[in-house]
Amino acid sequence: MKTILLAMLLAAAAAPAWAHAKLQSSDPTANSSVKSPSLIRLVFSESLEPAFSGAILSDAAGKKIPVSASVGGATITLMPLSLKPGAYKVTWHTVGHDTHRINGSFSFKVVP
Amino acid sequence: MNDAPALILAVARGLYYAATMLLFGDLAFSLLIHAKLPVILPPQDMRLRWSALALAMVAGSAWFLMAVAGMAGTLDVQAIIQTITATLFGEMFGLRMAALAALALVLKRGARLAVLLALLALSLPAATSHAAAASPAGFTAIGGSLDAIHLITAGFWIGGLAVLLQLHRRGEPNILLALSLFSEWAMIAVLLLVMTGLINAASILLGDTGAPSPVYLAVLATKLVLVAGMLGLAATNRFRLMPQSRDQTIARNAALELGAGVTVVLLAGVLGQLQPTL
C-alpha cells in the first residue's frame, strides 16, 4: 500500500507532458488579422525531427508562397517576404522523437 | 492507428520487446544463478536464445522500416538514409542493431558482456518512447530513463520466468532455491516496474490538455488487468505455494504468468502507436 501511495504521489508530481508533437501556439494566431508579418512562428509541444518536419504558406487561391523555413527544437519558423493583404493558410507537418507524424493547418488574414 | 502499416509496426515493436526481454531476463537471471547458487547449473538453452536474437533482429528491422514509412510518408532508400543519419530514432536503431550483432558474437561465451548488450538492445528504444518525447524540454533524459527502467525490470521478470520453466522442465531438484532467488530480485523489479509504469502513464495522460483517448485507455486497462493477474500469480507462488513446496502448481502458475507477460508486452507495442489523448 505504501508503494502504491508513493507511486501515486510521484505520478501526481510529474511535470506537464504531451505525447505526439501538437501545435501549442502560433504567431500570428489562428484566424487572426495582422499586418504583414516578417516571421511566422509555430511552437509545438515537443522537440521535432527537422528532417521530417516543416510547413508551407499558401494564399487564398491555394498558391504556394515562397518562404525561407527553419526547424529547431520545438519550433518551425517561416520568413515570408512582404505579404499582400488577403487570406493565408499555414499547412504544417511534424514528426517528434517518438516518430509519430502529425499534420495540421491554420489560417490568418493580412490587413493593410 | 487504423491501417495495415501501423498494425505491422505495433506488432513488430511488441515482438522486438518480447524477444529482447526474454534475452535479457534469461541471460541476467542465469548469470545470477551462476553467481549465487553454485548447486544449480543454469539452463543455457541456446536454441531459445538464438531464436530470441533472430526475432529481435527481424522485428527490430520491420519496426524501423514501418517507422520510416510513417515519418517520411514513403519508403525508399533516401528516406531510410535520412532516418538513420538525421533522426534520434535512426541513431538508436543503429546502436541497438549493433548491440544485437555484438551479442551474436558473445552469446556462447562472455556472459556479463552478453547481459550488458541485451540490456542495451532492450533499453535503447526508451530514448524515443512516448515517455521521453512527452517530457518537457530538458527532462527527456528523465522520461527516457524511467521508461528504460520499466523495460529492464519487465525483461528481468519475463526472462526470469522463462529460466524457471526451463529448470522445471529438466526436473532440477533445487528449483525451490532458484525460485526463492528469483522472488527476492523479482520483488524489487516489480516494485520499480509498477512505479515507473504509473509515472509514465500519468506523465503521458495527465499532462495533456486533451481528454484521454478511449481506445488508448481500453488497451492500457487491459494491460493493467493482466499485470494485476501476474502479480496475483506471483504472490500466490511466493507466499502460498513455495512454503508448501508445490512445484507443479508453481510451474503452471509461472507458465500462465509468462503467457500474460508476453501478452502485456505485445499490448505495450500497440500502446506505443496509439495517440494517448484526443
Size of interface A-B (CB pairs under 8 A): 108
> Alpha helix locations (H) across B170-246?
175-206, 214-236
Q: Please indicate whether, in this complex, the C-beta atoms of B128 and A98 are within 8 angstroms of each other.
A: yes
Q: Please indicate whether, in this complex, the C-beta atoms of A10 and B206 are within 8 angstroms of each other.
A: no
pLDDT tens digits for B63-99? 999 999 999 988 999 999 999 999 999 999 999 999 9
Residues of B in contact with A50 (CB under 8 A): 86
| Separation in Å, CA of B130 to nearest CA in chain A | 6
C-alpha distances in Å from residue B213, one per residue of A49, B9, B72, B217, B263: 25, 20, 25, 6, 21
Residue of chain A whose Cα is closest to the Cα of B73: A101
Q: Please indicate whether, in this complex, the C-beta atoms of B70 and A46 are within 8 angstroms of each other.
A: no
Q: Please indicate whether, in this complex, the C-beta atoms of B89 and A99 are within 8 angstroms of each other.
A: yes
In the block, cell 548469470 appears at B31
pLDDT tens digits for B181-220? 998 898 899 899 989 988 877 777 776 666 778 888 898 8
Instruction: Determine the residue type at B81.
Output: I
Across B70-79, B112-121, B133-142, least confident range: B133-142
A positions 64-83 inside 8 Å of B (CB): 73-74
Please report the pLDDT score of residue B138 as a whole number. 65
Q: Which three cell numbers stand for residue B146?
A: 524511467
Please report the pLDDT score of residue B226 as a whole number. 92
Q: Which of A3, A5, A18, A24 to mutate to test the interface with B (most CBs of B within 10 A)?
A: A18
Cα–Cα distance between B94 and B96 in angstroms, integer?
6
Instruction: Determine the residue type at A55.
Output: A
Please report the pLDDT score of residue B157 as a whole number. 92
Query: Span B133-146, mean pLDDT?
Result: 75
Q: Please indicate whether, in this complex, the C-beta atoms of A47 and B208 are within 8 angstroms of each other.
A: no
How many helices (H) and strands (E) would you count in chain A? 1, 9
Per-residue pLDDT of chain A (112 residues; tens, 9 = 90+): 343 333 333 333 333 334 567 899 999 999 999 999 999 999 998 889 999 999 999 999 999 999 999 999 889 999 998 899 999 999 999 998 888 888 999 999 999 8
Q: Which class would CATH give A20-110?
A: mainly beta
Q: Which of A97, A101, A103 to mutate to test the interface with B (most CBs of B within 10 A)?
A: A97
| Separation in Å, CA of A82 to nearest CA in chain B | 31
Cα–Cα distance between B46 and B5 in angstroms, integer?
33
User: Who wins on pLDDT, B140 or B87?
Assistant: B87
pLDDT tens digits for B145-162? 998 999 999 999 999 999
Residues of A in contact with B140 (CB under 8 A): 47, 97
| pLDDT at B131 > cutoff 80 | no
Residue of chain A whose Cα is closest to the Cα of B72: A52
pLDDT tens digits for B160-175? 999 999 999 888 888 8
Q: Please indicate whether, in this complex, the C-beta atoms of A99 and B67 are within 8 angstroms of each other.
A: yes
CB B11, CB B266: distance < 8 Å: yes
Hey, where are the domains in chain B? 4-271
> Does residue B276 sit at the A interface (CB-CB below 8 Å)?
yes
Q: Please indicate whether, in this complex, the C-beta atoms of B133 and A15 are within 8 angstroms of each other.
A: no
Q: Please indicate whether, in this complex, the C-beta atoms of A100 and B70 are within 8 angstroms of each other.
A: yes
Residues of B in contact with A7 (CB under 8 A): 194-195, 198-199
CB B260, CB B226: distance < 8 Å: yes
> Does residue B277 sit at the A interface (CB-CB below 8 Å)?
yes
Residues of B in contact with A46 (CB under 8 A): 133-134
Nearest by CB to B139, from A15, A98, A100: name it. A15
Nearest by CB to A15, from B128, B195, B207: name it. B207
- What is the pTM (predicted TM-score) of this model? 0.83
Q: Which three cell numbers stand for residue B40?
A: 544449480
pLDDT tens digits for B231-271? 899 889 888 888 887 888 888 988 999 999 889 988 888 88
Please report the pLDDT score of residue B251 as a whole number. 86
